Structure 1
Amino acid sequence: MSVAATTSGSIVLLTRLARRVYREATDDVLGMTLKQFVALNHLGEDTGIPQRQLSDVLCLDANNLVLLLNEVERLGWAERRRDPADRRRHLVYRTPAGSGALMAAERGMDAVEDRILDTLSPQERATLRLLLAAALAEGTPSHD
């Protein structure tokens, strides 16, 4: 393990790790952009997510989310529908074509993950995933 890895804070290390992912998870590897991949991961075919909630989850402002959704809709991977409970808002759904594209992209992302995390054992990878999920969980109380 390098000195930088042992002396850097967790956020610095996560940022470095994210940059490696961005570098390796190219359009050629995934068959889509990384932003499209992340967006499709948050969508379901049967349950829509409010557009505003998707904006919050993806940390995108409303304008950038609309541009992203326009592109995935043009590709046939997602669709916006009026919320029957509140006609003023849209719910976003992944289409069956989007699910197929996502499955193919996940195979590419698995290869990227294997390259980036090749020094970790399967148990360490599982622990890392649980820790990251816990850190990203909504409603996680602050410990300051």
Structure 2
Amino acid sequence: MDGDSKAKIHRSLAALELAAVRYRGGVRRRLNVGDEELTALLYLAHHGGVAQRRLAEITTLSRSGAGAMIQRLEHDGFVERHTDPADRRLRVVHLSTAGRNRVHDAYRDFGDATDRVLAATDPADVERLAGLLGGLAAAAETTHAVDPPLAPAARDPIWRRWS
């Protein structure tokens, strides 16, 4: 690959990142949550329930900070906490039904816009793009390795469920 192609890819990725930051800000305002809270909600939406201490790691908050965040999310109806049946000392955080619906609704327009672009794209190009994006996501994941991985999730994105 020549230098011009690499530069175009890097510029496009930078533009995509900035667009994602702007979009994420809009979602935060619609849901009335902070950045760490949105990170937690998205993780729960894509990966399912998780121990409270794991949400602390994912959001880079202290355990007490994560506990306060979870209390706020629970108070606002986004999440529920349940005792882990395998280890009664642990509390597992899950999206509530209302929380899942609110997060889904906040991202619905993104899913719709993505569908419109992909519908106008050759299916073979869509398959290639899926492979390339998967590779980029894996590269990003290994750059900032977290166990278990944050993305990509095995589940469909939140904006594609129930549509």
Is the structural similarity TM-score above 0.5?
yes
Normalised to the residue count of structure 1, the TM-score between the two structures is: 0.61
Separation in 2, partners of 1:98, 1:139? 23
Post-superposition Cα deviations, 1:51-100, rounded to whole Å, max 9, x if no partner, equal: 11222233333233223212221111101222233233211011110110
SS in 1 for 2:94: strand
The residue identity in structure 2 corresponding to 1:55 is: A
Separation in 1, partners of 2:113, 2:72? 24
Separation in 2, partners of 1:72, 1:36? 7
Residue 135 of structure 2: which of 115, 121, 131 is its match?
Answer: 131
Give the structure 2 partner of residue 117 of structure 1: none
SS in 2 for 1:42: helix
**Percent of counterpart pairs with the same letter?**
26
Normalised to the residue count of structure 2, the TM-score between the two structures is: 0.56
Aligned residues: 131
SS in 2 for 1:25: helix
What's the C-alpha RMSD, in Å, of the aligned pairs?
Answer: 4.0
| 1:22 aligns to 2:21 (yes or no) | yes
Gaps of 5+ in 1: 115-119
Give the structure 1 partner of residue 85 of structure 2: 84
Higher helix fraction (1 or 2): 2
Separation in 1, partners of 2:29, 2:109? 5
Gaps of 5+ in 2: 116-120, 150-163
The residue identity in structure 2 corresponding to 1:25 is: R
